[in-house]
């Protein structure tokens, strides 16, 4: 049965590769995935999958009910993210992006192809499972807004989801393998902006200014004091100032400097203290330098916490379809973030795993890089694991 699932997934490979490359060629930015949405709906309609109407213009929710009679009727949601990034592609592929400065550089084109593959495979074996599968094609993962929007659209209710699972490609794991991690796997992500307001003057007469450039420099350095002296070194936390803007001329001290950046945490309690700690430092430093400030802190997504019970189910499905020794327990968690954490925060059961896309012996590709390309060889393996998981849960 299970080996047969991988064989069936392999049969779909050519068709799914075409789909993946088509989507790769037409990438769309977060919340603008209009063509992608139409494309996915058309594919799902071909399969007779119910498309639940949503208010939002992008994103798709498909619903497939199994025909097998069973006392156990799990409602499982599978999620693929569908947005691309503002990067000018430099792969030189024949299906390179036709949209200027937009590129599928995070493999979401591959995630769409895998999930459509699962929809295709499951709809061909409806009598082999019971329960309901919800296919969530989610916009805007890259800007951390899509999961919240889809939840508002009601994707987790009516019928209420029991388990939610997603995969993300990983260039460090070989094709044919997956990676799992129990517990907190990825960091929370928050955004901040700081305006430092001073008094401008001639660059030759700095004593007549309240210099926001010098003050900004002190603020940037002082913020790192939070990490090194206020947070337990065992609590993985990052504060990064990533942009600095101020001034127009080499000889004019400006009135204002703008900073922006991100905060990443694994411990939600630590996360809840950072905003106040930052403001205390910004306030103290700016006042010491006779400047004032505006501070805006936005809580975006929580840490991503995998349920080990669901990981065990995923590992079992992988063992059944991919064979022995194909599940890697990931050695360490990540400081990057994923808005899939928002679903996991709402449900008691769920997990996010990594799908290997590395070709053995080749230099690993880098996500969010202009030379990245999803490896089509990985598609059937992703399809097989997710399909088997649904069958195992609803047998
Ligand atoms: Zn990404
Ligand atoms: Zn991604």
Q: How far is CA 33 from the centre of its chain?
A: 16
How is residue 184 written in tokens?
Answer: 């907190």
Q: Which ligand is nearest to the CA of 109?
A: 2
**pLDDT value at position 61?**
98
> Which candidate, 133, 25, 132, places its Cα nearest to that of 79?
133
**pLDDT value at position 395?**
79
Q: How far is CA 148 from CA 56, 153, 165, 334, in A?
A: 12, 9, 16, 22
Cα–ligand 2 centroid distance for 120 (angstroms): 23
Cα–ligand 2 centroid distance for 279 (angstroms): 31
Cα–ligand 1 centroid distance for 140 (angstroms): 10
Q: Which ligand is nearest to the CA of 374?
A: 2
- Predicted model pTM: 0.94
Cα–ligand 1 centroid distance for 229 (angstroms): 31
> Is the separation of the CB atoms in 167 and 77 below 8 Å?
no
Cα–ligand 1 centroid distance for 195 (angstroms): 28
Cα–ligand 1 centroid distance for 152 (angstroms): 22
- Which helix (DSSP H) or strand (DSSP E) does residue 275 occupy? helix 268-288
Structure confidence by residue, pLDDT tens digits, 278-309: 999 999 999 999 999 999 999 999 999 999 99
DSSP 133: E
Q: Which ligand is nearest to the CA of 107?
A: 2
Q: Which ligand is nearest to the CA of 142?
A: 1
Cα–ligand 1 centroid distance for 74 (angstroms): 30
Cα–ligand 2 centroid distance for 86 (angstroms): 13
Nearest-angstrom CA–CA distance, 59 and 165: 17
> Is the separation of the CB atoms in 264 and 238 below 8 Å?
yes
**pLDDT value at position 70?**
84
Cα–ligand 2 centroid distance for 46 (angstroms): 27
**pLDDT value at position 338?**
97
Nearest-angstrom CA–CA distance, 354 and 170: 6
> Which candidate, 137, 154, 135, places its Cα nearest to that of 33?
137
Nearest-angstrom CA–CA distance, 32 and 140: 8
Q: Which ligand is nearest to the CA of 111?
A: 2
Cα–ligand 1 centroid distance for 381 (angstroms): 21
> Is the separation of the CB atoms in 303 and 186 below 8 Å?
yes
- Which segments of the chain have a pLDDT < 50? 1
**pLDDT value at position 41?**
98
pLDDT > 70 in the chain, percent: 99
**pLDDT value at position 80?**
98
Domains in the chain, CATH or no CATH each: 2-186+303-393 (3.40.630.10), 188-301 (3.30.70.360)
**pLDDT value at position 2?**
59
**pLDDT value at position 3?**
63
**pLDDT value at position 65?**
96
Structure confidence by residue, pLDDT tens digits, 55-93: 999 999 999 999 998 877 899 999 999 999 999 999 999
> Is the separation of the CB atoms in 163 and 310 below 8 Å?
yes
């Amino acid at each position: 049965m299970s080996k047969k699932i991988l064989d069936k997934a392999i049969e779909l490979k050519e068709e799914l590769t075409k789909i993946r490359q088509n989507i790769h060629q037409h990438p769309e930015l977060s919340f603008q995935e209009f063509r992608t949405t139409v494309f996915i709906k058309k594919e799902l309609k071909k399969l007779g999958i119910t498309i639940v109407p949503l208010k939002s213009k992008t994103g798709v929710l498909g619903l497939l009910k199994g025909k097998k009679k069973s006392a156990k009727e799990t409602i499982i949601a599978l999620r693929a993210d569908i947005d691309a990034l503002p990067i000018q592609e430099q792969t030189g592929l024949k299906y390179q992006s036709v949209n200027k400065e937009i590129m599928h550089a995070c493999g979401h084109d591959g995630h769409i192809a895998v999930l459509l593959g699962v929809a295709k495979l499951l709809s061909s074996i409806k009598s082999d499972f019971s329960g309901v599968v919800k296919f969530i094609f989610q916009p805007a993962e890259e800007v951390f807004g899509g999961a919240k929007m889809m939840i508002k659209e009601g994707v987790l209710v009516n019928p209420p989801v029991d388990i939610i699972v997603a995969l993300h490609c990983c260039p460090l794991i070989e094709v044919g393998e997956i990676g799992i991690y129990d517990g907190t796997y990825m960091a929370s992500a928050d955004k901040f902006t700081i305006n430092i307001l001073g008094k401008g003057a001639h660059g030759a007469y700095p004593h007549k200014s309240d210099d926001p450039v010098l003050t900004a420099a002190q603020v940037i350095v002082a913020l790192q004091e939070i990490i090194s002296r206020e947070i337990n070194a065992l609590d993985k936390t990052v504060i990064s100032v990533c942009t600095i803007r101020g001034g127009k001329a080499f000889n004019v001290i400006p009135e204002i400097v703008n900073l922006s950046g991100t905060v990443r945490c694994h411990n939600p309690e630590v996360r809840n203290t950072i905003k106040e700690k930052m403001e205390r430092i910004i306030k103290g430093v700016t006042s010491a330098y006779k400047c004032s400030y505006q501070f805006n802190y936005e809580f975006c997504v929580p840490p991503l916490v995998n349920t080990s019970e669901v990981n065990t189910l995923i590992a079992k499905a992988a063992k059944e379809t991919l064979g022995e020794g194909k599940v890697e327990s990931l050695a360490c968690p990540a400081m990057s973030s994923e808005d899939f954490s928002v679903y996991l925060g709402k449900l008691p059961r769920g997990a996010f795993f990594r799908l290997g896309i590395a070709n053995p012996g080749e230099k690993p590709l880098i996500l969010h890089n202009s030379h990245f390309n999803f490896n089509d060889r990985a598609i059937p393996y992703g399809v097989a694991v997710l399909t088997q998981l649904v069958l195992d849960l609803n047998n």
